[in-house]
Structure 1
């Protein structure tokens, strides 16, 4: 594709086993997390192995593909470009911008002429439409902003508290590797991405008229990372700020925001009874840089942002995540994967006995023997406290094996 990029082997390794299969490979993630460049890397790998491979590439963000409006246009465009007696590959970027795209995918998959790949930024639209029309015929690969380890590699810097704070401050959108990491430079870029996500993936997609209200809601979510929130609580707060709304409207808008990928919802679950509560969930940002470009970076909020980072790390690794409720105590994260369960508490610093008793004590009260971890920014920490591991955030984010027991 004649593109210069840095590889992201974590995602390539997930996709490679399916190259050449009949399954449609669907890459889903917030805008500007690098989905297109992962496609470019796949294309280059395919061409390196098969010089005759026919690559058909469509990017709905580029004007030259404006004529592809609906599923019929897509089918006609693709089938005109089939070459006989060679392997044909079809790559479609931002497929959700094509009306009834799932009909085209179903048609093309049935023909078995193309090896199919697509990306999309609207998680709800993609999952619902593809699941309905293509059940059992696709594999979905979530793509996220750079992990901490990727951030270090992309920016050619080493791990340490200063660079970890840069990651917290500016986030992990890959293009930042081309910019000087200063507030006035980075936040200008991130604000343009924020506006694109809000306008294209929320306002236009769901026909929203009150953009100011949407921004106020996002500001509330940004200011309340790691806090249990409810639609009624948000509604009451906005009303106190002279913004009229209802809990039902709040729920709708939160759903729209989650579908764009800019924020993520985490439900609350009872640890003993395994019940999922229907109110009081938490919301985290897919990229902290976008969050900070909206409400500003404040050193006093590092504890909240550390919690957001731990959530993102667990999510990248494929864990199902809930907030744990144990009687009247809260466990920041209950992470489950492949029959394993891990309980995690996050704190900025374990600064005194009261903080230590709270963070470790909540975990000690859990009546099972699954892995329990405390994560903080502390430089000098003990390795183990009554069976509970204590990790510095930089180590936790760099060593996936810490979560393999």
Structure 2
């Protein structure tokens, strides 16, 4: 069953023949290879490119082991070019080839080549786009299936689809499985034997137990402010283990480089500055997070928040966690300073949105809690509350937009309501 990835296909089409190296990044198994070798290749052929002018190399395949040698790979591509017509070079999992930057820069000197590469680690790709490709790298970030993509091929109603997505996430392979046991075993297996193994081997981590427990800690605390010191103290007090702040920081960075997790910085809305401490971490795919915890911690509020974060990133927004300082009275009537949180501060060019995510807004107390931080923001950018369910958007007396999760996820322009 093929899932349309039209958003990413359009990004590739827009960059076709632009003289730059198109670098497709994202977590392993999110569909990068299928996008490039099937969806985009089919587009090229349908639009007049001869099949023999498309050079495909999957560097993670044993059949192409010899092509991981940079000189051999460069010569192979060079020998495959027989005329002056445009050739399209598609390299999959390019981080398997040492000195790949030199190979790609050398290929760029040939006028009739358009280059596309995929990779599953930002340390080898995102940073090198700036430093090694001399401004000629163009990154396209791919994510697991959005809910809209998942729902487009789901055989059932919205509520069932939503429950399944919250539990098993959006890795494309899952749409082929027929039962829950298959899905659960697949996620558990690839987390340990693909994702975590890849991080451990790539970064030469000696104490495997430490990073395994760290993953569990981060999985248990999605959407909760944390920092390496707090995690280190947890290891000391609860597990009688020494796990230094520096090592924790490095291991978190390794997980982020592999696109397993993403961090949201805290932003002081009134002070207009970033606050370094207590970041929030979200999992790129919730199915992997849930599988890591053996599907035990299914807190709908935090899972909803993680899904909203991922959807905003898929749509190309910059996403931070907002902090609003206010003065309030304590139970003794004394004036005290408090910090209120805005789940997400969302930016794109000159546009900004403030978003709260609330699973349950049925009580007046809960509404007061969710609205309080929004009411204390001193600007007029749109303020949105996303609630569980299918509620269509409406504006309350404060001018805040209230919308159901279904509308937010299935309407690509939902923030423009």
Q: Same fold (TM over 0.5)?
A: yes
Q: Specify the alignment match of 1:330 in structure 2.
A: 341
Matches within 5 A, 1:266-305: 266-298=264-296, 301-305=299-303
Q: Specify the alignment match of 2:352 in structure 1.
A: 341
Q: Specify the alignment match of 1:55 in structure 2.
A: 54
Distance 1:391 1:404 in 2: 12
Equivalent residues of 2:354, 2:382 under 8 A apart? yes
Residue 181 of structure 1: how far off its partner (Å): 4.2
Q: Specify the alignment match of 2:117 in structure 1.
A: 118
SS in 2 for 1:155: coil
Distance 1:253 1:127 in 2: 18
Q: Specify the alignment match of 1:313 in structure 2.
A: 311
Residue 242 of structure 1: how far off its partner (Å): 2.4
Residue 300 of structure 1: how far off its partner (Å): 5.1
Unpaired runs of at least 5, structure 1: none
Q: Specify the alignment match of 1:135 in structure 2.
A: 134
SS in 2 for 1:341: strand
Matches within 5 A, 1:231-246: 231-239=228-236, 240-246=238-244
Residue 143 of structure 1: how far off its partner (Å): 0.3
SS in 1 for 2:123: helix
Equivalent residues of 2:389, 2:406 under 8 A apart? no
Matches within 5 A, 1:5-404: 5-39=2-36, 40-53=38-51, 54-158=53-157, 160-182=158-180, 184-195=181-192, 196-200=194-198, 202-239=199-236, 240-298=238-296, 301-327=299-325, 328-378=339-389, 383-385=394-396, 386-404=398-416
Distance 2:130 2:67 in 1: 23
CA-to-aligned-CA distance 1:108-144 (integer Å, 9 cap, x gap): 0122232100001001220112211113212111000
Task: Identify if the C-alpha distance between structure 1 residues 380 and 129 changes in structure 2 by more than 3 Å, giving closer, same or farther.
Answer: closer
Residue 382 of structure 1: how far off its partner (Å): 7.4
Distance 2:392 2:19 in 1: 50
| TM-score for both structures, normalised by structure 1 | 0.95
CA-to-aligned-CA distance 1:269-298 (integer Å, 9 cap, x gap): 100122111110000000000001100334
| Aligned Cα root-mean-square deviation (Å) | 1.6
Distance 1:222 1:59 in 2: 32
Task: Identify if the C-alpha distance between structure 1 residues 381 and 114 changes in structure 2 by more than 3 Å, giving closer, same or farther.
Answer: closer
Residue 23 of structure 1: how far off its partner (Å): 1.3
Q: Between Structure 1 and Structure 2, how many residues are aligned?
A: 399
Unpaired runs of at least 5, structure 2: 326-338
Distance 1:210 1:378 in 2: 43
Residue 245 of structure 1: how far off its partner (Å): 0.7
Task: Identify if the C-alpha distance between structure 1 residues 51 and 277 changes in structure 2 by more than 3 Å, giving closer, same or farther.
Answer: closer
Distance 1:95 1:379 in 2: 42
Distance 1:378 1:93 in 2: 39
CA-to-aligned-CA distance 1:163-189 (integer Å, 9 cap, x gap): 21111101001111110241x210111
Distance 1:51 1:368 in 2: 51
| TM-score for both structures, normalised by structure 2 | 0.92
Equivalent residues of 1:71, 1:102 under 8 A apart? no
